[in-house]
Amino acid sequence: MSISVNTMRAIDHWVGVPLCAVATPFIALVDAIKNVFSRGSETPRKLLFIELSEMGSAILVDPAMRNAQARGAEIFFLIFKSNRASLTLLNTVKPENIFTIDSSSLSGLIKDTLRFLMLARQHQIDTVIDLELFSRFTALLTGLCGARRRVGYHIFHGEGLWRGAMLTRRVHYNPHIHITKNFLSLIHAAFATKIEIPFSKIHIPDSEVRLEQAVINSVALDKVRQRIEILAKEAGILFTQGKERLILVNPNASDLLPQRRWAQHRFSELIIGIHQQYPLDLILITGSPVEFEYVEKVRIVANVKNAINFAGQVSFAELPPLYTLSDVMVTNDSGPGHFSAVTPLRTVVLFGPETPALYGSVGNSIAITANLACSPCVSAANHRKTPCHDNVCMQAITVSQVLEKVAIQLQGADQAKIHQSA
């Protein structure tokens, strides 16, 4: 049986806090002993990033990872096994340098945690960057892995979410700048030659928040194209790639924060609206294999011939080819909004309990948010858990609003094709 998100949060609190309390003096003693024999400050050579639970963050941290590589560090990464695929979209980290923890069972979690602590020492990791926002579990992994230089977000004079003194370089988490810039501030702290309180006293220009584009081979592109054309033919739809446009609709969101979901019937209404305005274009309703039934309900209610249930039709590795072939995607605030940023795909992303100012896609994206007085209601300060059971912030987003942005993105996609063919 897999561990639910709420169970993991409970474990992180009720087990994590006492473990951090016990580990803090032990780690402080080890650090003091190491400092006696220290040869002075050294530049990070083997740098480990820890980001376990958010697949989208594995994309948003890529500019920070490439920054560290440009400074001469070899990059390692620790992530939940179920999220490992997110690191393959850009292949910034070598496969042999990716460590995983199986979170599907408590026994697997414990076994892989102990295994990681040994592997970190075997690989002589000298610097760790904890990307998580005040997770006690990752704080413990950071403190106990044997690295001399340990960088992460610290609460300083704030209250709550205490996680001990595992860090040697404490960074102020800034809730007013994009998370990609927050990640870059961790790199500055890791390579700084002097201690700052707090880190990082630097300006990060927008030019540094830039994602590399995925390298997509023609074979993968043709494979996905053929699959789309076969499904369209089976459904009796006349579709020629490059002639009719391809529009993606992604109606689901992860269980990590279900309040991010726009209602199923709204997505059905959106599909009807898209078909009415663009009757020749093909609509693929996307999702993972386990989301097939959810997607099918959206399709049945819409009852549009040119809309196909595409859930589970492509592997994670085939998402970049799918996005490259497509013109526009509408999605909840979830992984696909970030994964698509490594391709030219234009997106419309719907935000509610979180804010695009902090977590918006860094791709060619338009964000829609209702800007309610209570939004955003999740943050690092509340462990990304909200008491809300009535996501009015998502309900307030209308189908007409989304259709308006879809039209803008489709126009941009059409213009881009004209420039490419010129």
- Whether the per-residue pLDDT at 59 is higher than 90: the answer is yes
Q: What is the mean pLDDT of residues 174-181?
A: 93
How would residue 51 be classed by pLDDT, with cut points 50, 70 and 90?
very high
Question: Which two structure tokens, joined as six digits, stand for 242?
Answer: 């490059």
Give the pLDDT score at 169.
96
Q: What's the rounded Cα separation, in Å, for the pair 49 and 145? A: 12
Q: What is the mean pLDDT of residues 342-368?
A: 95
For the chain, give the percent of residues with pLDDT over 90: 79
Give the pLDDT score at 41.
62
Give the pLDDT score at 13.
84
Cα–Cα separations (whole angstroms), residue 172 to 128, 154, 155, 317: 16, 6, 7, 35
- Whether the per-residue pLDDT at 36 is higher than 90: the answer is no
Residues of the chain with CATH 3.40.50.2000: 5-208, 218-421
275-310: per-residue pLDDT in tens?
Answer: 999 999 999 999 999 999 999 999 999 999 999 999
Q: What is the mean pLDDT of residues 384-393?
A: 90
Domain 218-421 has CATH 1.10.357.10: no
Q: Is 171 exposed, middle or buried (0-12, 13-18, 19+ CB in 10 A)?
A: buried
**Cβ atoms 374, 367 nearer than 8 A:** no
Nearest to 153 by CA among 92, 218, 215, 198: 198
Locus of tokens 């309040």? 259
Local structure of 412: helix, strand or coil: helix
47 Cβ neighbours under 8 A, 6+ residues apart: 68, 73, 74, 75, 76, 125, 126, 127, 128, 129, 190
Give the pLDDT score at 68.
98
Give the pLDDT score at 34.
83
Q: What's the rounded Cα separation, in Å, for the pair 125 and 323? A: 36
CATH class of 5-208: alpha beta
Range with the largest mean pLDDT of 84-98, 252-266, 367-381:
84-98
- Whether the per-residue pLDDT at 1 is higher than 60: the answer is no
Mean pLDDT of the chain: 93
Cα dihedral: 376, 377, 382, 383 (round 10): -70
192-232: per-residue pLDDT in tens?
Answer: 999 999 999 999 999 999 899 999 999 999 999 999 999 99
* Cα end-to-end distance, the chain, whole Å: 56
Q: What's the rounded Cα separation, in Å, for the pair 145 and 205? A: 33
